[in-house]
């Protein structure tokens, strides 16, 4: 089955530690995205990438970093510089170019709790 796999599902870390969230897709989509979800705030875009080896900051990129070395993979690192990292993180993908409507395909999410 084609889809997006995020891991881990739940993650606990101590304050000051960097953590990396994995996102892999086998939909052959060119674009991948990371969103942060907090209660009552909807989804906020952290980073996105439309092609391998290129990515752009979203609305709340501070304290986060990404890489896009392969089309299928878009890992997100939550650094110690992120002031309030406890949240639910969602990875998504979409096609690019002709036929792209903005429809996003989501993974199951990763819940990060910083103790």
User: Which residues form the interface with other proteins (CB under 8 A)?
Assistant: 4, 6, 40-43, 45, 88, 90, 92, 94, 100-104, 106-109, 111
User: What is the DSSP-derived secondary structure letter of residue 115?
Assistant: -
CA distance 82 to 47: 14
Q: Report the nearest approach of other proteins to the CB of residue 19 (Å).
A: 18
Residue with token string 């995205």: 33
Which residue lies nearer to other proteins by CB, 11 or 104?
104
Helices (H), the chain: none
CA distance 6 to 107: 6
Q: Report the nearest approach of other proteins to the CB of residue 59 (Å).
A: 10
Q: Report the nearest approach of other proteins to the CB of residue 79 (Å).
A: 24
């Amino acid at each position: 089955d084609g889809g997006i796999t995020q891991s881990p599902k739940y993650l606990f870390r101590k304050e000051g530690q960097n953590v990396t969230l994995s996102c892999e897709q086998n939909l052959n989509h060119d674009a991948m995205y990371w969103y942060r979800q907090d209660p009552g705030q909807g989804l906020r875009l952290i980073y996105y990438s439309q092609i391998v080896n290129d990515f752009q900051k979203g609305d709340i990129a501070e304290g986060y970093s990404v890489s896009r070395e392969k089309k299928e993979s878009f890992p997100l690192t939550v650094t110690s510089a992120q002031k309030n990292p406890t949240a639910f993180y969602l990875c998504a993908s979409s096609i690019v170019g002709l036929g792209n409507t903005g429809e996003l395909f989501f993974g199951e999410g990763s819940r990060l709790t910083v103790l």
